[in-house]
Amino acid sequence: MKWIEEELSSLADLSLLRTLRESAPVPNRPGYTMRNGQMLLNLASNDYLGLAQHPVIIESMREKLLIDGAGSGASRLVTGNGEQYARLEEALAAWQNSEASLVFANGYMANSSVISALVGRGDVVFSDQLNHASIVDGVVLSRAEHARYRHNDTEHLKVLLRKHRNKRRKLIVTDAVFSMDGDHAHLRELVSLKNEFGAMLMVDEAHSGGMFGSCGEGLCHELGLQNEVDVHMGTFSKAFGVYGAYVCGSRNLIRWLINKARALIYSTALPPSLIAGISTALTFVQTEHWRRERLRSSSWLFRSSLSEAGFHIADGDTPIIPLIVGDNAAALRFSALLEQEGIAAVAIRPPSVPSGTARIRFSLSAAHTEQELVDATRCIRRIGYQLGVLRA
């Protein structure tokens, strides 16, 4: 096992070593996190709508926990399929205006098993180069050919679609909002290419669910494309503030996944208390529009304050705001200085992002106030000068 030590020290030399650090929520302060006894403004979580500490969600989970116990005890196909699943899946399908839906344990398992249930040897998956790792792993698991197209480059995708025209099944898959860049996929173009080439289209709304659409359905709804997407996936771990994931689509798609999605078949069902929490969170996501509105205005404010300070911040309307630093060590230093100033924001390094594009990924929450964000951008600016990312 000596090789592990050698590999770890070369990761450390490249400023690519990852370690686990302890964080704890701060009671009644959803926009904050505790680290080493210090309360930090949390600009690193995906609790976009500020629901993770919501007392009504917590209470619904507690009630169910006391009635149904700690765990579900078995996979859904055995005895883990509690009555609350069917109600939640009906509510999800109604929300997404789809025929049916299926809950998964988490987004990673949903993506990896749905893709491998839809395609196999002899098929091809067209995947954006910046898609989430769980999509990449799904393609690898499926054994289908992996045709990666340059980020949001629909011309490149078209070339690849032509090249693989005669493959048995073709699946185009994309994040709706890219997790490390916060930009949108070009969904309209993807829909028209899918139709032109007879491909299936799968969209991952992990970072757009809750934020877009009149009731938080996601970007596909916002653009009126919900009926054009064959496989609509989203998570409960981000805007919902809980844990888990869903897939929506046709009744037959869901019947197929129940038979073929290995993460559903061979893994224990989520605990009943979690399903209760997700169901309660769904009602908040659907009805508390002020959370989306506040998040949109915060995102705009934060982006424009950083741009005015002199940082290169791409235009956008999502709460994921990357500040590209480039060098891995400089990104780590930036993050450490932010922490000293009371801000939690992580340095994202390869392989999560392409080499040479290490960054601080800021992610905002509806729990943050305008003043907190303005103060944070002042502090980020100061550190930008200190590290030479900004020059006078």
**Catalytic positions, please?**
179, 207, 238
Tell me the C-alpha to C-alpha distance, in Å, between residue 141 and each of 71, 150, 176, 238, 248. 28, 22, 22, 25, 21
Tell me how far, at minimum, the Cβ of 66 lies from ligand PMP, in Å. 26
Size of the site for ligand PMP (CB under 6 A): 14
179 binds ligand PMP (CB under 6 A): yes
CA nearest neighbour of 15 among 284, 371, 251, 336 = 336
* Segment interacting with ligand PMP, rule: CB under 6 A, options 15-23, 142-150, 204-212, 218-226: 204-212
What is the maximal distance between C-alpha atoms in the chain? 65
Contacts of 80 (CB under 8 A, 6+ apart): 72, 73, 74, 268, 269
What is the DSSP annotation of 317-346? SSSEEEEEEESHHHHHHHHHHHHHTTEE-E
Residue 24 tokens read as 């704890």
Tell me how far, at minimum, the Cβ of 363 lies from ligand PMP, in Å. 11
Residue number, 274 or 389, with CB nearest to ligand PMP: 274
Q: Which of 245, 276, 281, 320 binds ligand PMP (CB under 6 A)?
A: 245
CA nearest neighbour of 158 among 197, 131, 113 = 197
175 binds ligand PMP (CB under 6 A): yes
Q: Which of 111, 305, 363, 365 binds ligand PMP (CB under 6 A)?
A: 111
Whether 368 and 31 have beta carbons less than 8 Å apart is answered as: yes
* Segment interacting with ligand PMP, rule: CB under 6 A, options 57-65, 82-90, 202-210, 315-323: 202-210
Tell me how far, at minimum, the Cβ of 134 lies from ligand PMP, in Å. 5
Q: Which of 60, 96, 134, 273 binds ligand PMP (CB under 6 A)?
A: 134
Residue number, 177 or 358, with CB nearest to ligand PMP: 177
Q: Which of 136, 173, 206, 321 binds ligand PMP (CB under 6 A)?
A: 206
142 binds ligand PMP (CB under 6 A): no
Strands 320-326 and 245-249: unpaired
Residue 128 tokens read as 């954006």
Q: Which of 237, 299, 357, 377 binds ligand PMP (CB under 6 A)?
A: 237
Residue 250 tokens read as 């046709």
Residue number, 201 or 389, with CB nearest to ligand PMP: 201
Residue number, 280 or 377, with CB nearest to ligand PMP: 280
Element (H, E) at 235: strand 231-235
Residues that bind ligand PMP (CB under 6 A): 106-108, 111, 132, 134, 175, 179, 204, 206-207, 235, 237, 245
